[in-house]
A and B are shown apart, each in its own frame.
Chain A
Amino acid sequence: MSEAVKPQRLALMHLFWWFMFAQGGVIAALLIPVHVLVQGILGPLGIVPVVDRHYDTWVSVLGNPLVKLYLLVLIAFPFFHFAHRLRYLLVDFGVPAAKSVPAQVVFYGGAVVVTLVTVYILLTTVPI
Chain B
Amino acid sequence: MTTEATAEATTEAPAAPREYSWRMPANWWTRNRHYFLYTVREFTALPLALWLLWLLVEIRRAGDGPARYAPHSSTAFVVFSVVVLAFALYHSYTFLTLAGTILHFKVLDRPVPARLIVLSQFAAWAAASVVVAFVLIWFAHE
Interface residue ranges, A against B (CB under 8 Å): 1-3, 22, 25-26, 28-41, 43-45, 48-62, 71, 74-75, 78-79, 81-82, 85-86, 88-89, 92-94, 114, 117-118, 121-122, 124-126
CB <8 Å contact, B52 and A49: no
Total A-B contacts with CB atoms under 8 angstroms apart: 175
Query: What residues on A are CB-neighbors of B140 within 8 Å?
Result: 48-51, 53-54, 57
CB <8 Å contact, B81 and A92: no
Chain A: minimal CB distance from B118 (Å): 12
- Size band of the interface chain B makes with A: 35 or more
Interface residue ranges, B against A (CB under 8 Å): 2, 4, 24, 26, 29, 39, 42-46, 48-49, 51-56, 58-60, 62-63, 66, 69, 71-74, 77-78, 80-82, 84-85, 88-89, 91-92, 95-96, 99, 124-125, 128-129, 132-133, 135-137, 139-142
Chain A: minimal CB distance from B139 (Å): 5
- With A29-B95, A34-B128 as contacts: A44 and B59 at CB distance below 8 Å: no
Q: What are 26 contact pairs spanning A and B, CB under 8 A?
A: A26-B95, A29-B91, A29-B95, A29-B99, A30-B124, A32-B52, A32-B91, A33-B85, A34-B129, A40-B80, A44-B77, A48-B137, A49-B141, A50-B137, A51-B140, A54-B140, A58-B62, A60-B142, A71-B55, A75-B55, A78-B48, A78-B52, A79-B49, A86-B46, A114-B53, A114-B56
